[in-house]
C-alpha cells in the first residue's frame, strides 16, 4: 500500500491544511517560536547540559551487523535505532548530522560520533520516520540513503519532503494514524502521538507526526518518536500490546513544554499504558535540547523504573540488545555524571 499525502484519512484530524492532536491545546505563535528558538538553540546553557568527557560508544562495522543474530537492536544516538529483523535492517529517525539544527554552524552539537557512519551502514530495507523536526529528520542522511534504502515509511506529508530531496516516489509510503503496511514481512503501524511539526516559522503542522508499532511475528516493539503524555498510549496498548520492548522518549523535556514532551514519570506511565515489558529510554544522551543536565533523564528514569519494578535497558551507544532477551545494560553515565558535576563546580568557582 503506497499512500500520498493527498490520500489522507481523517484519523489525524487535519483541518484547513494543518494537522491537529487528539486533544486540543494552545499553539505557539511565530514570535514565541522565535524566542524559544533563540533561547534554546543559540544562547549559552548551563555547563552540565553537556558531558564533561566523551560518552562511551561501542564502534560498529557493517560486517559485525551482518553477522549479528536476528532480532537485534542498536542505539546509534538520540532517537536513531537500528533494528535487524528477518535478516534485514530497519532504521528509525536516522540523524547523523553534527548539529540538530537548520544550520551546521550553530545549534545543539552532538555529544558523540555515531557508532558507525552513514557509509558503513548495511543495506537498509526501511527507513521509519516519526516527524520532520531537525533532531529526527536529517536532510543529508536522507539524501545519502535515497538510493541505498529500499523503503521510506513516513507520516502524511513527510514523504513529500523526502521526494523533494531526491528520494524516488516509488520508495515512499505515507501513512495516517492507524494505517499500516508490511515491508519484508514486518508489519508497521503508524499510531498517534501528541506533538507538532515544522522545519521553519510558517510551516507549522503542515505534516503529520506519529509513533510506530513494529511487529515481527510474535515480537512487538513500540517506537514513540516525540510526544507528550496522552490517553492514546492506553488505546495503542489495548490494540497492539503487550509489547516486548518500548522505545520511549525520555529526555529533552521542559516544564514549559508539558503537552509535547514527557517528563520521566510520564514516560514510565506511557510504557505501562502500552503494556510494555522492557523499556528502553531514547531521545537522550546525544544533544542538549533543553536546560536539564545531560544525565538527568537517565538518573530519573532508572530510579522510577526500579521503584515500579519495570525492567529497564540502558545500553551504550552501539551496544547490541537482543529483542529475544533484552539486558539491563550498565549505568554507563554515572562516572561521567561525577566528572560533569566536578567540571560545573569548578566553572562556577572560577566565575566568582
| pLDDT at position 33 | 53
pTM of the complete model:
0.92
Q: Where are the domains of the chain?
A: 48-351
237 grid coordinates:
496498548
Residues in the chain: 352
- CB neighbourhood size of 301 (10 A): 25
List, in sequence order, every residue forming a beta bridge with 183; answer none if it has no partner: 186
Which residue's entry shows cell 551546521? 104
Q: Please answer whether residues 225 and 93 qualify as being in contact, where contact means their C-beta atoms are separated by less than 8 angstroms.
A: yes
H helix or E strand, kind and range, residue 248: strand 243-249
Asked if residues 3 and 175 have their Cβ atoms less than 8 Å apart, the reply is: yes
CA atoms within 13 A on the CB side of 291: 13
pLDDT of residue 295: 97
Long-range CB pairs of 63-69 (<8 Å, 24+ gap) are: 65/89, 65/116, 65/122, 66/122, 68/320, 69/322
The alpha carbon of residue 296 and the mean position of all alpha carbons in its chain are separated, in whole angstroms, by 18
Q: What CATH number belongs to 48-351?
A: 3.60.15.10
The tens place of each residue's pLDDT in the chain, 352 residues long, gives 344 444 445 676 677 789 999 998 876 555 555 555 555 555 667 889 999 998 999 999 999 999 999 999 999 999 999 999 999 999 999 999 999 999 988 889 999 999 999 999 999 999 999 999 999 999 999 999 999 999 999 999 999 999 999 999 999 999 999 999 999 999 999 999 999 999 998 899 999 999 999 999 999 999 999 999 999 999 999 999 999 999 999 999 999 899 999 999 999 999 999 999 999 999 999 999 999 999 999 999 999 999 999 999 999 999 999 999 999 999 999 999 988 887 755 544 454 4
Amino acid at each position: 500500500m503506497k499512500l500520498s499525502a493527498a490520500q489522507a484519512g481523517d484519523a489525524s484530524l487535519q483541518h484547513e491544511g494543518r494537522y491537529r492532536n487528539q486533544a486540543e491545546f494552545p499553539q505557539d505563535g511565530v514570535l514565541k517560536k522565535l524566542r524559544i528558538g533563540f533561547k534554546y538553540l543559540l544562547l549559552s546553557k548551563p555547563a552540565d547540559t553537556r558531558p564533561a568527557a566523551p560518552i562511551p560508544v561501542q564502534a560498529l562495522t557493517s560486517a559485525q551487523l551482518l553477522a549479528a543474530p536476528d532480532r537485534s537492536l542498536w542505539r546509534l544516538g538520540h532517537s536513531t535505532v537500528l533494528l535487524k529483523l528477518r535478516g534485514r535492517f530497519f532504521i528509525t529517525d536516522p540523524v547523523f548530522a553534527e548539529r540538530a539544527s537548520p544550520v551546521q554552524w550553530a545549534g545543539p552539537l552532538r555529544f558523540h560520533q555515531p557508532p558507525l557512519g552513514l557509509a558503513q551502514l548495511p543495506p537498509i530495507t526501511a527507513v521509519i520516520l516519526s516527524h520532520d523536526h531537525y533532531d529526527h529528520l536529517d536532510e543529508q542522511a536522507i539524501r545519502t540513503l535515497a538510493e541505498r534504502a529500499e523503503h521510506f515509511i513516513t507520516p502524511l506529508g513527510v514523504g513529500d519532503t523526502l521526494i523533494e530531496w531526491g528520494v524516488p516516489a516509488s520508495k515512499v509510503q505515507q501513512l495516517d494514524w492507524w494505517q499500516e503496511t508490511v515491508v519484508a514481512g514486518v508489519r508497521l503501524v503508524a499510531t498517534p502521538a501528541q506533538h507538532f511539526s515544522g522545519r521553519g516559522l510558517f510551516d507549522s503542522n503542515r505534516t503529520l507526526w506519529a509513533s510506530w508499532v513494529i511487529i515481527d511475528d510474535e515480537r512487538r516493539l513500540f517506537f514513540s518518536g516525540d510526544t507528550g503524555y496522552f490517553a492514546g498510549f492506553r488505546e495503542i496498548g489495548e490494540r497492539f500490546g503487550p509489547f516486548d520492548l518500548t522505545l520511549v522518549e525520555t529526555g529533552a523535556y521542559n516544564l514549559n513544554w508539558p503537552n509535547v514532551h514527557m517528563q520521566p514519570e510520564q514516560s514510565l506511565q506511557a510504557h505501562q499504558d502500552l503494556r510494555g515489558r522492557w523499556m528502553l529510554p531514547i531521545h537522550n544522551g546525544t544533544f542538549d535540547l533543553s536546560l536539564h543536565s545531560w544525565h538527568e533523564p537517565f538518573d530519573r528514569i532508572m530510579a522510577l523504573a526500579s521503584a515500579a519494578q519495570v525492567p529497564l535497558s540502558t545500553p551504550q551507544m552501539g551496544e547490541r540488545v537482543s529483542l529475544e532477551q533484552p539486558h539491563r545494560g550498565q549505568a554507563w553515565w554515572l562516572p561521567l555524571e561525577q566528572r560533569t558535576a566536578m567540571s560545573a563546580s569548578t566553572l562556577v568557582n572560577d566565575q566568582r
